[in-house]
Chains A and B, each alone.
Chain A
Amino acid sequence: MANIMNSLYNMRILDDLARQETVIHKLHSLMKLLTTVSYLTVVVSFGRYEIGGLLPFLIYPVMVFTLAELPVKPILLRILIVSPFIIGIGILNPFFDQQGYLLGERVISRGWITFGSILLKSGLTVTAALLLIATTGMDRLAGALRMMKIPRIFVLQLLLTYRYISVLMEEVARILRAYSLRAPNQKGVHRSAWGSLAGQLILRTFDRAQRIYEAMCLRGFAGEYNTGGFKEIRAWDLSYFIGWALFFAVARMYNIPMLIGSLITGVIK
């Protein structure tokens, strides 16, 4: 139950954040989507022994966080929630790859390097995806998808699913509360109620869909989802995307920390 309320709460936090009006929020959603996709692709394209070269990619989330005035805590919390799986897979690396690697004075197993690389990549990619939705919101993102010629049936369906998640989650929460009051101290729904509990919900969902469809028809739905035209892409939006894409490309081709490091150590020597 706490689980459901948490999920609902989390979705609403992101919804609220997306409603702000900062420099980043005002950018065109398509450009933000493209920036995110290129960021993800570049980060993921790094080899598995790479840690240093990935560090400049922290600049992107840091900039978006600050420019979009997003609270760091709820988003970082989300990353922690998904990390156990990544850690579970990655933690096996040090066992399978025990080749030594000299780091300064100490020798560490190469597996730890790959593990660190996976953790860093996971943190960066998860943050980038969450930042996209926290600065764009579902409706504007759907607009971007339509501009990319994603078929309207899919986009409409995606928006409907999104819209009704909170409704159905609340319904499930009520059902589970009622069930737990009648069957206390149970770990889950008993086998005898599997079919009826979820089945009843499905039947109600079907009826709800019918009502929604009728309501849509009454409001003039004829298979088309009218978004009222697309927002125009300004030069500023385009330069946002191009600027980041250039930065990603440069940071991908040159190991910036290594360059800075050799510069500094060279100067000291």
Chain B
Amino acid sequence: MHMADALISPIVGGTMWVATAGVAAYSIKKIQTEMDEKKVPLMGVMGAFIFASQMINFSIPGTGSSGHIGGGLILAILLGPYAGFLTMASVLTIQALFFADGGLLALGSNVFNMGFFTCFIAYPLIYKTFMKQGYSTRRILIASLFTAIIGLQLGAFGVVLETLFSGKTELPFGTFLLLMQPIHLAIGAVEGLVTAAVVAYIWNSRPEIIEKAASGEALGNVAIKKVVGGLVIVAMITGAGLSWFASSDPDGLEWAMINTAGTAELEAPEGLHQTLLHLQSKIAFLPDYSFKASGNEPEPGVGEGGDAWPAISGGTSAAGLVGGGMTLLLAAFMGFGISMLKKRKSKVSI
């Protein structure tokens, strides 16, 4: 479910970064007021645990295949939603930095998709509600299963929406949705079952760990409402602010262009993007200053509504090919040149 930078637009990436930073700041404040210092090392080591436990393959009965856990739900149950969210954020940060698993610009989206939905929506609304009646192995199983599935479905839907808004792939909304949601139903089921097994084991051997985590925070609906409400406002402001700077959303333009090119599959998102485009053209400060126009060099005289696709003429494409080749050569030359110079220098100094 890790989104890569290549599939996200700066506006979507930036908006999700701000949203995630908002949730993280709220969580940090919550932890500080509870100020359970001991929790910080525990969060750190649990983050490392999630990392390591993702290497364990659990065989799935009756399928012959195996899967691993994401860990968001275990973190929420054992550490509480705030610490769980922050721990998930640091796990994802390290994955992005060291394993290129999800991009740095997309990190906000990834933390939101994999942390927020599980820790702040599914966990308090489903898991906690089930557990109000007290712990039992059976209830742990049902609650974990439902919470994991719902959390992952929401996360997968987040991925679909963010990809749609970024507009980097041609995948139609419906197709992408049909690809993502069923896969994550299966992934969610495995996550839920493994989490239930682990939580039940801990509940049987060291119940105080789970009791402490559960009693630590009394998270009612009020807090959630506050968080979600604040988030929506923040996201809207940043989204609007960022698109104001970017002036005319390149992706929106492209969607509109496809509309005129008559690609039938894109009907659903068209409406949405058209509306956004319309909205943007109203709030845009410099309507003609679009990144795309300067980057793609459309033929002069081609209006926004017309075929904005870069001019198809032999001359420009030849120039593009020659220039592209030259740029590559230049880059290679710079690399070789510098390393040759360095080698020579080091020889001289010896």
A-side residues, CB < 8 A to B, are 3-4, 7, 10-11, 14, 36-37, 40-41, 43-53, 55-56, 58-59, 62-63, 65-67, 69, 78-79, 81-82, 85-86, 89-90, 92-93, 95-97, 99, 101-104, 110-111, 114, 118-119, 121-122, 125-126, 129-130, 132-133, 138, 141, 151, 153-154, 156-165, 167-169, 171-173, 176, 186-191, 194-203, 205-206, 208-210, 212-213, 216, 223, 252-262, 264-265
Partner of B297, one of A110, A186, A188, A255: A255
Binary CB contact string for chain B from 50 to 93 against chain A (1 if under 8 A, 0 otherwise): 01110111111100111101000010001000000011011101
| Chain B residues with CB under 8 A of A154 | 24, 28, 86, 89-90
Q: Is B323 an interface residue (CB 8 A)?
A: yes
| Chain A residues with CB under 8 A of B313 | 102
Query: Does A93 contact B170, Cβ atoms closer than 8 Å?
Result: yes
Query: Does A129 contact B327, Cβ atoms closer than 8 Å?
Result: no
Query: Does A90 contact B38, Cβ atoms closer than 8 Å?
Result: no
| Chain B residues with CB under 8 A of A164 | 44-45, 47-48
Complex CA–CA separation, A70 to B78 (angstroms): 41
Partner of B104, one of A122, A129, A259: A129
Q: What are some 27 contacts across the A-B interface (CB < 8 A)?
A: A10-B99, A41-B13, A46-B291, A48-B167, A48-B168, A49-B296, A50-B296, A56-B331, A63-B338, A66-B338, A67-B338, A99-B261, A99-B309, A160-B43, A168-B49, A187-B66, A189-B58, A191-B61, A194-B194, A195-B197, A195-B198, A202-B49, A205-B49, A210-B38, A212-B41, A255-B295, A259-B323
Q: Is B222 an interface residue (CB 8 A)?
A: no
Query: Does A189 contact B57, Cβ atoms closer than 8 Å?
Result: yes
| Chain A residues with CB under 8 A of B25 | 151
Query: Does A132 contact B295, Cβ atoms closer than 8 Å?
Result: no
Complex CA–CA separation, A252 to B66 (angstroms): 45
Query: Does B55 contact A4, Cβ atoms closer than 8 Å?
Result: yes
Q: Is B319 an interface residue (CB 8 A)?
A: yes
Surface stretch bound by A, among B112-120, B202-210, B280-288: B202-210
Surface stretch bound by A, among B4-12, B122-130, B270-278: B4-12
Query: Does A47 contact B292, Cβ atoms closer than 8 Å?
Result: yes
Query: Does A45 contact B41, Cβ atoms closer than 8 Å?
Result: no
How far does the Cβ of A268 sit from chain B's closest Cβ, in whole Å?
9
Of chain A, the residue at the smallest CB distance from B262 is A99
Q: Please report whether the interface of chain B is mostly helix, strand, loop or mixed according to DSSP.
A: helix
Of chain A, the residue at the smallest CB distance from B49 is A205
Query: Does A167 contact B4, Cβ atoms closer than 8 Å?
Result: no
User: Given A126-B100, A209-B44, 4 more contacts at CB 8 Å?
Assistant: A41-B105, A130-B100, A161-B90, A188-B60
Q: Decide yes or no: A187 and B65 within 8 Å by CB, A62-B332, A82-B101, A205-B49 being known contacts.
A: yes
Partner of B339, one of A66, A85, A198: A66
Of chain A, the residue at the smallest CB distance from B323 is A261
Interface centre among B25, B94, B104 (most CB of A within 10 A): B104
Interface centre among B69, B105, B246 (most CB of A within 10 A): B105
| Chain B residues with CB under 8 A of A119 | 6
How far does the Cβ of A54 sit from chain B's closest Cβ, in whole Å?
9
Interface centre among B60, B65, B330 (most CB of A within 10 A): B330
Query: Does A265 contact B318, Cβ atoms closer than 8 Å?
Result: yes
Complex CA–CA separation, A268 to B105 (angstroms): 42
Query: Does A257 contact B98, Cβ atoms closer than 8 Å?
Result: no
Query: Does A159 contact B263, Cβ atoms closer than 8 Å?
Result: no
How far does the Cβ of A2 sit from chain B's closest Cβ, in whole Å?
10
Query: Does A59 contact B295, Cβ atoms closer than 8 Å?
Result: no
Query: Does A93 contact B169, Cβ atoms closer than 8 Å?
Result: yes
Within 8 A of A (CB), among B247-279: 250-251, 254, 258, 261, 263, 265
Q: Is B148 an interface residue (CB 8 A)?
A: no
Partner of B105, one of A44, A161, A187, A210: A44
Query: Does A89 contact B45, Cβ atoms closer than 8 Å?
Result: no
Query: Does A118 contact B6, Cβ atoms closer than 8 Å?
Result: yes
Query: Does A160 contact B47, Cβ atoms closer than 8 Å?
Result: yes
| Chain B residues with CB under 8 A of A169 | 48, 51-52, 55
Query: Does B335 contact A63, Cβ atoms closer than 8 Å?
Result: yes
Of chain A, the residue at the smallest CB distance from B68 is A188
Q: Is B324 an interface residue (CB 8 A)?
A: yes
Of chain B, the residue at the smallest CB distance from A92 is B171
